[in-house]
Amino acid sequence: MTVCIEFPGFCVFKSTVEGHGFIKERILESINPDKNKRFGVETHNQKIYHTDWYVPSNVFKPYYSVVGGLLEAHNKKVFELLNTTDQGIEIQTVWFQQYKTGCFHGPHTHGGCNFSNVYYVDLPPGTPKTTFSFMGKKYDVDIKEGDIITFPGYLLHESPVNESEYTKTVIAFNTNMV
């Protein structure tokens, strides 16, 4: 079931992937088939342990064969709630990010898309969830492992510093109405 969580001026849609526990390890293995190779990013606004954000979109991403149908099903439910089923839904960009201790992704938006989405593949206790900022106020959504959230691409959001000893893994994706 997909729900709309309303805040003043915006809405976050949330659904839970049925059977997430059964596919979690398949997803993690397909994200990191060679445990000795990783691509991290560190700038003034982010420190990400491992990501494929910079891999060209035409390069095959093995985890998409595991999660693609789940992401598309989630988007279909969101667009039904928006009553926009007469329009097409296009997943534009997909990437994963892993956050170890000390990692974060500072406040940012996603330009060039209608919606941003996050699938929480591995969210151990104490790892940070996405927080939102709108009109000078901060907002949190009750998120658990196996959830997918969708929010407007213009909405300022961040992943606070991971102060836990555990690694958080997400699959992020941008969508457009076409």
What are the pLDDT digits (tens) for 136-161? Answer: 999 999 999 999 999 999 999 999 99
Residue 86's pLDDT band (cuts 50, 70, 90): low
Task: Give the per-residue pLDDT at 96.
Answer: 97
End-to-end CA distance of the chain: 24
Distances (CA, A) of 139 to 16, 135, 169, 171: 20, 11, 21, 21
Q: Which of 36-45, 120-129, 138-147 has the lowest mean pLDDT?
A: 36-45
Are the CB atoms for 94 and 61 separated by under 8 Å?
Answer: yes
pTM for the structure as a whole: 0.96
Half-sphere exposure of 155 (CA within 13 A, CB side): 27
Report, as an integer, the average pLDDT of 119-133.
97
Residue 171's pLDDT band (cuts 50, 70, 90): very high
The percentage of the chain sitting over the pLDDT mark of 90, rounded to a whole number, equals 84
Judge whether residue 29 has pLDDT over 90.
yes
CA angle 172, 158, 174 (to 5 degrees): 25
Distance of CA 26 to the CA centre of its chain: 17
The percentage of the chain sitting over the pLDDT mark of 70, rounded to a whole number, equals 99
Task: Give the per-residue pLDDT at 72.
Answer: 94
Judge whether residue 178 has pLDDT over 90.
no
Query: For all residues of the chain together, what is the average pLDDT?
Result: 94
What are the pLDDT digits (tens) for 42-77? Answer: 999 999 999 999 988 888 999 999 999 999 999 999
Task: Give the per-residue pLDDT at 85.
Answer: 66
Measured in residues, the chain has a length of 178
Q: At what angle do helices 64-81 and 20-31 cross, to 10 degrees?
A: 130
SS3 per-residue string spanning the chain: CEEEEEECCEEEEEEECCCHHHHHHHHHHHHCCCCCCCCCEEECCEEECEECCCCCCCCCCCCHHHHHHHHHHHHHHHHHHCCCCCCCEEEEEEEEEEECCCCEEEEECCCCCCEEEEEEEECCCCCCCCEEEECCEEEECCCCCCEEEEEECCCEEEECCCCCCCCEEEEEEEEEEC
